[in-house]
Amino acid sequence: MTPKQVLEMAKEKGAKVVDLRFLDFPGVWQHFTVPVRELEESSFEDGYGFDGSSIRGWQPIHASDMLVIPDPATAKMDPFFEAPTLVLIGNIVDPITREAYTRDPRNIAQKAEAYLKRSGIGDTAFFGPEAEFFIFDDIRFESSKHRAFYEIDSVEGSWNTGREECPNLGYKPRPKEGYFPVPPMDKFQDLRTEMVLTLESLGIDIEAQHHEVATAGQAEIDMRFKPLLEMGDQLMWFKYVLKNVAYRHGHTVTFMPKPLFEDNGTGMHTHISIWKDNIPLFAGDKYAGISQEALYAIGGILKHCRALCALTNPTTNSYKRLVPGFEAPVNLAYSSRNRSAAIRLPMYSPSPKAKRIEFRTPDASCNGYIAFSAMLMAVIDGIENKMDPGDPLDKDIYNLPPEELAEIPSAPGSLEDALDALKEDHDFLLKGDVFTQDVIDVWIDYKIKKEVNDVKLRPHPHEFYLYYDI
């Protein structure tokens, strides 16, 4: 879509205002709104000014002025605002040099796509994330000097079988038994369908929706694969739509990886494939019908997985899900059907177009643009350096004898461990200036100071249970 076509769309749809959106460093959408008369063809070159020092992980106060340049290809009408609102996702640039801002996650994604083309390996990297989430009815939490708690509630919560609900009609999924039950056990079929239809009205192709394994409203909606940058944009719309549809009906959605104790966490299994001249490069005659390039790509992800986790599983809570021995994909191995391996090769279809690798470790707390870009850089590094992933692991990992399990490398056990791995292993991300050293340094510094240390310094409620009477 051209700037002129965007203006025609705004007129046709009766837009009253324009909402400009961009992503902060950790991965949350930010926005501000201008009257539609402020949108001209020149706006797509001149941009709009804002204070970059107020965005997490961005500019210092003495160099705060930034510009957001709207991308005409991203134009959509917002499905929730009362006034007809045209939404444009923007790229961030320096107002003086007009250079793309290196800490803008969307800029990183654009550079990753360009680097793939320059490498000669392929021209398109497709990503298909399965972003799981929870739908809750109530969430309360506090963290202060003298008090800390959280409390979650859900009409589906297995803990509510004895609650007075006037009447309590039962049908609450037991822990780890929430996969695919029909209503009335599944309470959120209509809500998820409304989410799907809202996404499709925005031009986002959906493949399926269903209840997930955990009690208390765990769910999954799967988007059809798209090129990296486009999927980065779609993931932001995805989170926005799900949260707002739920909010409209008195529910709340979270992509926090592990909000419930003793039940399944939520991940974001990510399907990856590379194409060149409309030919899928990951289809071949090797193991599970994949190509040698796909095996090398797996080798790249497995080699760099511990560092990747700092970007694909970037919260302290992520590692409450990634715990060895609890069905989490922490073992750095690959398999055609074994879902306990970090990388799975889906076998649903024999079509060459369906051949891809599924990286199962990530979760949806990540910044999609950054996570997808990092995955692609690991894939490219694996292919360029012909990284052998070793033999597939088609055994049940959790029933292996200890001596055999000890030979399988594992994902980091904490965010701090993952950040340490990123410190030691990030040269593959710097190729082609896709990630800069500044981006890596600021990411690590931000995560340590704002998240790791903040959690480490606070007493945990369970510590009172364990130690108060000592």
Catalytic residue among 130, 363, 416, 451: 130
Measured distance CA(418)–CA(459) in Å, rounded: 23
Catalytic residue among 220, 222, 363, 381: 220
Q: In Å, how far from its chain's centre is CA 236? A: 9
| pLDDT value of position 308 | 98
Structure-token match 């708690």, residue found: 149
For residue 227, whether the previous peptide bond is cis, meaning omega lies within 30 degrees of 0, is no
Does the annotation mark 269 as catalytic?
A: yes
Q: Kindly report the CA angle at 201 between 124 and 84, in degrees rounded to 5? A: 115
Does the annotation mark 51 as catalytic?
A: yes
| Integer CA distances (angstroms), 355 to 123, 197, 361, 422, in order | 17, 28, 19, 29
Does the annotation mark 358 as catalytic?
A: yes
Does the annotation mark 130 as catalytic?
A: yes
Does the annotation mark 360 as catalytic?
A: yes
Catalytic residue among 71, 137, 293, 358: 358
Catalytic residue among 98, 249, 339, 458: 339
| pLDDT value of position 243 | 98
Catalytic residue among 304, 321, 344, 360: 360
Measured distance CA(158)–CA(173) in Å, rounded: 6
Nearest to 95 by CA among 45, 49, 43: 49
- Region of residue 271 (left: phi > 0; alpha: psi -120 to 50; beta: else): beta
Q: Could you tell me the pTM of the whole model? A: 0.96
Measured distance CA(354)–CA(352) in Å, rounded: 5
pLDDT in tens, the chain (470 residues): 999 999 999 999 999 999 999 999 889 999 999 999 999 999 999 999 988 888 888 876 666 788 999 999 999 999 999 999 999 999 999 988 999 999 999 999 999 999 999 999 999 999 999 999 999 999 999 999 999 999 999 999 999 999 999 999 999 999 999 999 999 999 999 999 999 999 999 999 999 999 999 999 999 999 999 999 999 999 999 999 999 999 999 999 999 999 999 999 999 999 999 999 999 999 999 999 999 999 999 999 999 999 999 999 999 999 999 987 667 888 899 998 776 789 999 877 778 888 999 999 999 999 999 999 999 999 999 999 999 999 988 777 767 777 877 788 899 999 999 999 999 999 999 999 999 999 999 999 999 999 999 999 999 999 999 999 99
Q: In Å, how far from its chain's centre is CA 31? A: 20
Q: Give Dmax (Cα) for the chain.
A: 71
Catalytic residue among 269, 271, 306, 344: 269
| pLDDT value of position 395 | 76
Nearest to 197 by CA among 89, 85, 79: 79
Measured distance CA(361)–CA(309) in Å, rounded: 8
| pLDDT value of position 470 | 94
Does the annotation mark 41 as catalytic?
A: no
Catalytic residue among 104, 137, 212, 363: 212
Does the annotation mark 45 as catalytic?
A: no
| pLDDT value of position 441 | 97
How deeply is 147 buried, as exposed, middle or buried, from its count of CB atoms within 10 A (0-12, 13-18, 19+)? exposed
- Beta-carbon count within 10 A of 210 CB: 15
Catalytic residue among 51, 165, 200, 433: 51
Do the Cβ atoms of 266 and 133 come closer than 8 Å? yes
| pLDDT value of position 414 | 96
**252 CB contacts (<8 Å, ≥6 apart)?**
135, 136, 137, 138, 139, 243, 246
